Amino acid sequence: MIPLIPFWVNRYVEYWDTIHKRNLWLIMLRYGAVIMLAGFLISSRFILGFTFSNKQDYALITLTVSILIYNLFLHWMHKFVRKEQGKFNPLHFSLLQMILDLTALSLIVYYTGSIETPLFMLFVFHMIIGSLILPGLIIYTIATIVIVLFNILIFSEYLKIIPHQPVHGLLAVPLYNNINFIIAYDVIFSFVIIISVFLANKIASQLYLIEQELVELLDKLKAAEEEKQKYIIGIVHEIKTPLAAVHSYLDIVINKILGPVDSQIEERLIRARFRSSEAIQMINDVLKISKLRLLDEITKEEIELSDIIVPIIKKQSVNLRAKHIMLNFFDGRTIKKMIKGDKFLLEIAFSNLISNAVKYVGNNGLIELDMIDTGTYVEIEVSDNGIGIPKNDLDKIFNDFFRASNIKDKSYEGTGLGLSVVKQIIERHKGSISVESPSRLCMENKPGASFKIKLYYAD
């Protein structure tokens, strides 16, 4: 397939979208041209008083119908043309339209008087449109061919090599055999074609250069963002090390391993330990989201979801016993199908959801995990009867650093990044997550929340 474009646009989606839209505009304009041509034939005879020979009538009617037929075919074909490297793409489609239109226009010009018809100026219109779509070399080649063919046509008629097809009633005297008129119009026509192509293509080329610079700038911004994320990960990880050490020392003092501690001092140490724990959790969340955003692709392996969820529940057993929480896991699948995904990232997602449920359900609470098979995907629902999520916060709960309004003034630790990370992980796996509050386990003053995740099975 002929390469019509510079290499950089192959990854520039907006460029292809623009060409795709312009192709559709040409198709719509062509419907208008068919109506105009039909109107010209009717008005010429009944209003303007022009007359055509039987041969001209037959040729022009055939051309009008042919344009309509091939335009209908192009309209149907347009929806299947996509940008594919080395294959028929929107630019090839534009070139095909240009060739068909110029062929049809050349025949129309010939059968309406060639140099005597005002329709030959439509060549200029096509050259301008082509200059905005096709590369310079291609459109200049087409313009040269148009000029050469037009010269062959008008001089062949002048030399009587081919018969002239006059429109009777259009001109008082014939001009196709007037050499001065032919040369003057030919020079002006050629000049207008070349200048039109030059100006239109120059503007289009400048726009493409600007677009190329934008693409390169976007690449640089992406690279800078990756470097920033790597820098953040490095710095935050370094900050975590001394904080973890402080946290460990506070544990040693609070647990009285080094000896008894005054009650007032112990209270402040416990508060300091809580704050250091909160800081470490914040650092862990920042590391998770930075790593997630740094990854362009996720690792894909076949995973059985219960192999992820059951160990997470076991890790929560101490917290569940301490707060007298009942957690039920119901696996309603008859056949345990595999999904494809990144096990580490999915562990982060489900760990966040389950730990959130444990955190916000309160003492003597109830949590239920339900897993059902729908045939094409598995649905996992994590429900509780905890404090729930206010209605006004539901549409913002997955935003970075957002915390529900009913926990801001309470002692629940967190950064507001957990659910944002969960949503990004699920969407990276082509799945979806939604939230409802109250949940199906709601009780009086305990509305609870329910998170539903859909993950599609491996092909």
CA angle 436, 441, 447 (to 5 degrees): 60
The separation between CA 224 and the C-alpha centre of its own chain, rounded to angstroms, equals: 22
Banded pLDDT at 1 (limits 50, 70, 90): very low
The torsion region of residue 16 among left (phi > 0), alpha (psi -120 to 50) and beta comes to alpha
What pLDDT, on a 0 to 100 scale, did the predictor assign at position 71?
A: 93
Please, are residues 349 and 421 in contact by the beta-carbon 8 Å criterion? yes
Identify which of 26-35, 224-233, 268-277 has the greatest average pLDDT: 26-35
Reply yes or no on whether the pLDDT at 379 is more than 60: yes
Banded pLDDT at 416 (limits 50, 70, 90): low
What pLDDT, on a 0 to 100 scale, did the predictor assign at position 401?
A: 67
What pLDDT, on a 0 to 100 scale, did the predictor assign at position 8?
A: 45
Q: pLDDT tens digits for 313-353? A: 888 887 788 788 889 999 888 888 888 888 878 888 888 88
Does 364 or 255 have the greater pLDDT score?
A: 364
Place of tokens 């507001």: 416
- Lowest-confidence pick of 99-103, 138-142, 185-189, 358-362: 358-362
Q: Percent of the chain having pLDDT more than 90?
A: 17
Mean pLDDT of the chain: 81
Q: How many CA atoms lie within 13 A of 284 on its CB side?
A: 12
Closest by Cα among 236, 363, 334 to 294: 236
Reply yes or no on whether the pLDDT at 234 is more than 80: no
Banded pLDDT at 66 (limits 50, 70, 90): very high
Q: pLDDT tens digits for 148-204? A: 999 999 999 999 999 988 888 777 788 888 899 999 988 999 999 999 988 888 887
Domains and their CATH numbers in the chain: 7-222 (no CATH), 301-456 (3.30.565.10)
Measured over the CA atoms of residue 187, residue 190, residue 195 and residue 196, the dihedral's sign is positive
- Lowest-confidence pick of 89-103, 163-177, 393-407: 393-407
Banded pLDDT at 207 (limits 50, 70, 90): confident
Closest by Cα among 435, 432, 436, 434 to 455: 432
What pLDDT, on a 0 to 100 scale, did the predictor assign at position 76?
A: 93
DSSP reduced 3-state for 59: helix
State the DSSP string of 83-145: --TTS--HHHHHHHHHHHHHHHHHHHHHHTTGGGSGGGGHHHHHHHHHHHHS-HHHHHHHHHH
What pLDDT, on a 0 to 100 scale, did the predictor assign at position 442?
A: 84
What pLDDT, on a 0 to 100 scale, did the predictor assign at position 430?
A: 85
Identify which of 154-163, 211-220, 433-442 has the greatest average pLDDT: 154-163
Q: Is 57 exposed, middle or buried (0-12, 13-18, 19+ CB in 10 A)?
A: middle
Residue 438, preceding bond cis, omega within 30 degrees? yes
Reply yes or no on whether the pLDDT at 72 is more than 90: yes
Q: pLDDT tens digits for 417-428? A: 678 888 888 888
Place of tokens 């917290």: 319
Banded pLDDT at 2 (limits 50, 70, 90): very low
What pLDDT, on a 0 to 100 scale, did the predictor assign at position 453?
A: 92
Amino acid at 236: V
State both tokens at 278.
Answer: 């909160």
Q: Is 151 exposed, middle or buried (0-12, 13-18, 19+ CB in 10 A)?
A: middle
Q: Across residues 87-104, what is the average pLDDT?
A: 87
Banded pLDDT at 147 (limits 50, 70, 90): very high
Banded pLDDT at 35 (limits 50, 70, 90): very high
What pLDDT, on a 0 to 100 scale, did the predictor assign at position 3?
A: 47
